[in-house]
Amino acid sequence: MTMFFTRRLAAAALAVLVAATACSADDDAAPQDGPDVLRVLAGSEVKDLEPLLKEAADAVGVRVSLTYAGTLDGAEQVASGGADGRYDATWFSSNRYLSLIDGAPAKLSTQTKIMISPVVLGLKRSKAHELGWDTKQVSWADIATAAGQKRFTFGMTNPASSNSGFSALVGVTAALSNAADALDAKQIAAVTPKLKEFFSAQTLTAGSSGWLADAYAGQGGQTSVDGLINYESVLLGMEKRVKEPLTIIYPSDGVVTADYPLTLLASSAKKDLYGKLATWLRTPDVQRKIMTTTFRRPILPEVRPDQRFGTAQLVELPFPNRRSTADGLISAYLNRVRRPSRTLFVLDTSGSMKGERLDSLKQALSALTGADTTASGQFSRFRDRETVTLLPFNSGPETPQSFTVPESNPDPVLKQIRSYGDALEARGGTAIYDSLRAAYQTLESRPSGNDFTSIVLMTDGDNTDGSSYDDFASYYATTSRTIRTFVVLFGDSDVGEMQQVAKLTGGASFDARKGSLASAFKEIRGYQ
């Protein structure tokens, strides 16, 4: 399973990179095109529709080529014109955020809603019973109270990378805010203390809904998360994969629902292909298939949702109508609301990194200190309250250097991190496992209760000095085994071994071999 999502993430990272370098001669990585091919820029949420989409070739003669991107990344690609000419259509779980970006609506032509899934809470059956939520109506306020009392824990995706997290954040904020109409900046400030209480129970984060579900289903005895906030479809789809079934809680005060609009880009000439695919997806047979194979509710009113979706009335919570509100909410979540992050970067500064590679490492670090001024860049910077530790290595680990970004006026510390990165020099050998071990020792010696703690391992070559992977695996077994390592494939790194490290620690791998380190680092931020 780790291998599966590791590869998927790598592909997603690559897709993002491809678009980011749209002007360079990177054309071999562009989605394949042809007269019967519809090139679709999609959220990874729709990956489960791939088998069904293959049928579209026989049914209506449309071959669908999907490239995956995160919510904000995808929205930025469309709004900036980066998607023009590369894609014919988009298929994200919602166009709401995208529509709020200046100039973006003009990039979109016809939008066709295909299916529906609300973002709700799924909780282990025993936990739901213990809280009494299996028999009575529960509101987000009830959930927030129980969260504040530490009576349960949950996982949710990062709102800056994934629509399910963003929808959940909007929903929870709208519900906990006393205001009855759409959110604005003032209401966000007022509701922040309540949000802090709610999100104090979040102990698992992820950059995508699929990875979150995988991590939840695969969790061992040490970490134990009681539930997930995710699409109803993801929660229903987990039934066969979890030891203990999930009880789905439909909060009585409302939800935010994804409607998956297949959207023609105004720049595309393939209006006919788009029309054929959209019409086919909305035929009753296909709608039923979507419902039974992916657990999403049909959009076609003639096809009624079956009994698995329950009968609860789902009140839709209002969604912000200004980008500044949406961005303000994400920023509040990252910098003030959620548990702080503790992040350790194990950075290869061996001789082979000299020149271009070291430069791109410096650039990647610098981007995370605020130099990337795009919205997604700003949301992936080192957050207020985050402790960042840099551990460069060559023939052995160097002394780790820690920085804590303060809650107000973060700039001076961000500058310090940038200066530290800029001063890195490349020389010597590559002691990967001694250094990774040093990273774990550093973090384990400074336990820090509730922070999201993770390691990023970046290396451009084989292990040349010190202990081996097997030595590290034996050492890892003696640790608390709660800290995930996200590995970055770069240069000539040993792909197999790196993926083993990711699998062993419950992390994931990100491929920066064809693109930039900056993009890989940025994507990993969704998991930290």
CB of 301 to other proteins, least distance (A): 4
CB of 35 to other proteins, least distance (A): 12
Alpha helix ranges (H) inside 301-340: 323-332
Using CA atoms, how far apart are residues 43 and 55, in angstroms rounded to an integer? Answer: 20
| Residue 367, both tokens | 């981007």
- Is the dihedral angle over the CA atoms 491, 497, 48, 58 positive or is it negative? positive
CB of 250 to other proteins, least distance (A): 10
Q: Which is nearer to other proteins, 319 or 490 (CB)?
A: 319
CB of 51 to other proteins, least distance (A): 24
Element (H, E) at 489: strand 484-489
CB of 110 to other proteins, least distance (A): 5
Q: Which is nearer to other proteins, 314 or 458 (CB)?
A: 314
Instruction: List residues bridging with 117 in a β-sheet.
Output: 258
Q: Which residue, chain included where needed, has tokens 């894609």?
A: 87
CB of 81 to other proteins, least distance (A): 11
Amino acid, res. 479: T
Q: Which is nearer to other proteins, 108 or 432 (CB)?
A: 108
CB of 189 to other proteins, least distance (A): 7
Q: Which is nearer to other proteins, 1 or 189 (CB)?
A: 189
Q: Which is nearer to other proteins, 100 or 488 (CB)?
A: 100
Name the nearest CA neighbour of 460 among 368, 345, 351. Answer: 351
CB of 41 to other proteins, least distance (A): 17
Q: Which is nearer to other proteins, 232 or 460 (CB)?
A: 232
Q: What are phi and psi of 489, to 5 degrees?
A: -80, 125
Instruction: List residues bridging with 68 in a β-sheet.
Output: 42
Long-range CB contacts (within 8 A, 24+) of 410-416: 410/382, 410/384, 411/370, 414/369, 414/370, 414/381, 414/382, 415/369
| Residue 440, both tokens | 């774990």
Strands 387-393 and 341-348, bridge-based pairing:
parallel
Using CA atoms, how far apart are residues 92 and 71, in angstroms rounded to an integer? Answer: 7
Q: Which is nearer to other proteins, 123 or 300 (CB)?
A: 300
Q: Which is nearer to other proteins, 96 or 525 (CB)?
A: 96
Give the residues lining the site for other proteins (CB under 8 A): 96, 99-100, 105-113, 116, 175, 180-186, 189, 252-254, 257, 259, 263, 266-269, 271-272, 297-302, 313-325, 328
Please, are residues 488 and 509 in contact by the beta-carbon 8 Å criterion?
A: yes
Please, are residues 436 and 473 in contact by the beta-carbon 8 Å criterion?
A: no
